[in-house]
Chain A
């Protein structure tokens, strides 16, 4: 099937082929996202409307191109977590864990990393680190420990934990939504390599840092006096939040088989928790709380996604991505394993330096276009997992590789513990390569 048959290519725009115009818009948007000269949301929206003004897509097609499943999933989870964090639950878990390991620094490095991984798998990575980093800084200050190993480890575990589930990391949300994978598809396919990588990282961080950490008995005794229960500021809200979170996770797990997409589940979870939180309070208080709950939604992120979806729809519509797809298949000589490995490693390197969200959003239609080359959409499954692994683990390669990394670095700077780009990368990049190698071995034996 030729490209012309699969895509309706619009007329030439001012004498320029739509493919070149779309390519130019994509290039300019990427340029500004990478150089950060213009805020990513602004440039994504400008790129999106440029696609419409240039006639590459009309508004109707542009709106059709927005993946509202992803948008609803993000909004629903942001509302849910925004309300839940008011209960003090995250500090509570961190303090309980620190006390469980008797404030032993070596064990503390492990438990805080584990908490980061688990929360990142169930919640958004940036939110997770925003909750875990301040309490980590308090605990390390109390124990007179250098916070750097803890922050480094949390960056890695937020990306590894995020890789394990559909909702853990934006690339997975995009892939799951575009392809129709369910929550458990991710758990079964990218969960195991995430666990293997996690085990390796636990051992590595213990050898490099954990076993050498020392603190005084007096400092440990102080930390053991912390009253974790006092960190829980609103117990009824905590119970409501945990109840709704459990329902949402159950909804993700079983909803897929019944045709309910994650966007619906997350949005209903957000709405239910808002209902429980505002039930039987005055009208004014209801208004205040709902306003606050929606204030927790990162609208700039939401509109970044919306802009990207429209840009990618425009580029896809121009026929450019299909050409890229056929080119990749040609280069890899139509070999599925070669194509999968290429996708994994290219996305790894790309994600280490540029935002993995636009990268994955662009690559999804490229992979989709390979269906005819490999004999049907169902044959593409290994390629999706390869993309997920590359995009999520690649984020560990540099301090700008993922939004969570940037957030940790920003907190570290505020605490007077700046993480330098090169110092981080000197260890993180090779370590990231090893983690992708582990995932590559897993992929070779289990995906293809």
Chain B
């Protein structure tokens, strides 16, 4: 079963020049946590999401490789973090993209997509293999609903086999 059967094609996406504030309001309205950022040629530029934004708000000494392991000694940091958020709020999302995204193609087996989602988190963008154009997303929910449909079919088949045997 390839990913094309399990992917969502009706995806809420945004443009690189949309502001962080605007995209966050879209995410809030639609109750989603990640948005693919796509240019006018339907090419994926990266993902924008709450977790990536939170990561950006962390001090550089924590984010960097081999940086500080803990911040439990920093008391009352919330006003500082809030001020950082205020700074990025008016920026275009293209400045805050997560570019190192794991992607799949419509022909990737769902078994492999499941492994990638477990490893890298949901959702994964689905790109056309030759053109690299964005065609949809595969998420934990879409995988489960596809698996449930398959299960439904399996059960029907089993039931018909049993009735045939009787």
Contacts and interface: CB of A to CB of B under 8 A. Distances in A.
Interface in A205-226: 222, 225-226
Nearest to A411: B64
Contact of A226 (B64, B67, B70, B75): B75
Given A130-B66, A134-B68, A226 B61 contact: no
- Interface size class, chain A: 20 to 34
Contacts, number: 57
Interface string B50-74: 0000000001111011111010111
Interface of B is mostly: loop
A401 interface: no
Nearest to A85: B69
A91 interface: yes
B61 A231 contact: no
Interface in B90-134: none
Interface string A131-152: 0001101100110000000000
A233 B70 contact: yes
Contact of A231 (B60, B66, B67, B73): B73
Contacts of A134: 61-62, 64, 66-68
A227 B61 contact: no
A225 B78 CA distance: 13
A414 interface: yes
A88 B70 contact: yes
Nearest to B64: A414
A3 interface: no
B164 interface: no
Contact of A225 (B59, B68, B76): B76
Contacts of A178: none
A228 interface: yes
Contacts of A226: 73-75
Given A130-B66, A135-B68, A222-B80, A91 B73 contact: yes
Given A134-B61, A227-B73, 8 more contacts: A130-B66, A138-B62, A222-B76, A228-B73, A229-B73, A414-B64, A414-B65, A415-B60
Interface of A: 88, 91, 95, 130, 134-135, 137-138, 141-142, 222, 225-231, 233, 411, 414-416
